[in-house]
Amino acid sequence: MGCLSSKPVEGTVSVPRPPLRAVPPPPKVDKGIKLGEYVCCAERQIFDAKVKEVGDNALTVETADGDLKLKKTYLGDGKVVSFKGPRVNVEDLHKGKEVEFKFKEDDADLSRGQIDGQTNSEVCLRQINDNSASKSQSWIPREDIRFLYVMVFSASSLKNTDIGVNNKSDPYVVVHLRKSGGKPNASTDDLGGEGHDYHMTHYVNNDLNPTWNMDFKFLSLHDVEAVVFTVWDKDINLFKSDDFLGRAELTKDTWEARKDEVLELPLLDMEKKPMFGETDAKESKLKVRVKICGPRN
C-alpha cells in the first residue's frame, strides 16, 4: 500500500490517481434507444434511421443517405418514438380506415380489415371477407399492419419554369398510387378519386436541385399497380395552374425487386421522353425509396 499513500514529489505535477478497484462504468445507453433499432425524428426530417452508436449526448444513425450524428435532444419532447422499423402512427388509423395485415403468423396471404379501435400498441380490426357473412373482429399488434412506405429525398436538374432574376421553379412532389383500373398516364387529374390515395411534399423556393426528405405511408394496398411521382412548380397565381416538371412511375415488380434501394428515377414528360435541366443540360431525376413494411420486419 506504500505507493498509494506516497505524497507527490515536490516540483512535479500531481497526477490524479485511479480509484483502488477501478471498475469501468457501464456504458450509458438510453432505455428507449438501442443499437440496431430505428429512430424517427420527423421534426428534423430524419426518418428510418438505424442506430449505430449511442453516446451520452448524441447518436450515430445510419440513414439512406449515409451516417449522421444526431443530438439526443433532437429526439426529445416525447414526440419522437424509438421503434423497430417504421410504424403506423395512431393518427393514421382512424375508424373505418382499410388496412392489410397478417391475420396469423403462418398465413401465406394477407387479410384486409377495417379499423374499429386502437391503443398505442394494438389495433382492433374488423376483418373484411369476400364472404360478408363472416365478420370476425380481432386485436393485433400495430406492427402487423402492412403498408407502403415511400420516401422522397430530392430531385436534380429540374427545368426552370419561372422568369426573372434569381427566380426559379419552386418544386414539390405529388405521390399517388395507381390501382388496377386507374389510368396509366394520369397526372393529378384523377387525384382524390376513389382508390387514389395521395400525398404531397412541401414546396422548395427557387431551387432546381431541391431536397424534401419526407416520408409517406400508404395504408390501402389492395390492387396497387404502381407508385406515381409527379413533380410540379408551385406558382402563386390564381390564373394559371402549376407548371409540370416531370413524372416517374415505379411498378410493383420494381419496388419488390429493389425494395431497400434508394432509386434515382428519370423524370419524363407527358410523351414519356426524358426531361432536362436547362442550366446544366443533365437529365432531371428524382431520388426516392419505396418499401413494404410489416408485418414484423
Residues near Ca ion, by CB under 5 A: 161-162, 167, 170, 206, 233, 235, 243
Torsion (CA) 152, 158, 163, 166 in degrees, nearest 10: 80
DSSP code at position 252: H
Instruction: Indicate the residue among 14 and 166 with the shorter CB distance to Ca ion.
Output: 166
Nearest residue (CB) to Ca ion, 137 versus 167: 167
- Cβ 235 to Ca ion shortest distance, Å: 4
Of 82, 93, 84, the residue nearest 126 (C-alpha): 93
In angstroms, give the least distance from the CB of 103 to Ca ion. 49
Min dist CB 162 to Ca ion, Å, is: 4
User: In whole angstroms, how close is the CB of 242 to Ca ion at the nearest point?
Assistant: 7
Answer whether 282's CB lies under 8 Å from 276's CB: yes
Q: Which residue in the block uniquely carries the three cell numbers 373505418? A: 96
Question: Which residues have CB under 8 Å from 237's CB, separation 6+?
Answer: none
Task: Between 111 and 161, name the residue whose CB sits nearer to Ca ion.
Answer: 161
State which amino acid sits at residue 270. Answer: M
Q: Which of 89, 88, 111 is nearest to 101 (CA)?
A: 111
Q: To the nearest whole angstrom, how small is the minimum distance from the Cβ of residue 160 to Ca ion?
A: 8
Residue number, 148 or 158, with CB nearest to Ca ion: 158
Nearer residue to Ca ion within complex by CB, 92 or 162: 162
Nearest Cα residue to 177 out of 127, 218, 236, 145: 218
| Own/partner pairs, 105-111, CB within 8 angstroms, 24+ separation | 110/146
Please identify, using beta-carbon distances, which residue of 100 and 233 lies nearer to Ca ion.
233
Minimum CB separation of residue 176 from Ca ion in Å reads 22
**Which triple of cell numbers denotes residue 62?**
445510419
Q: What is the rounded CA–CA span in Å between residue 2 and residue 267?
A: 78
Q: Give dist(CA 208, CA 127) in Å, integer.
A: 46
CB of 245 to Ca ion, least distance (A): 9
- Looking at the Cβ atoms of 159 and 178, the one nearer to Ca ion is 159
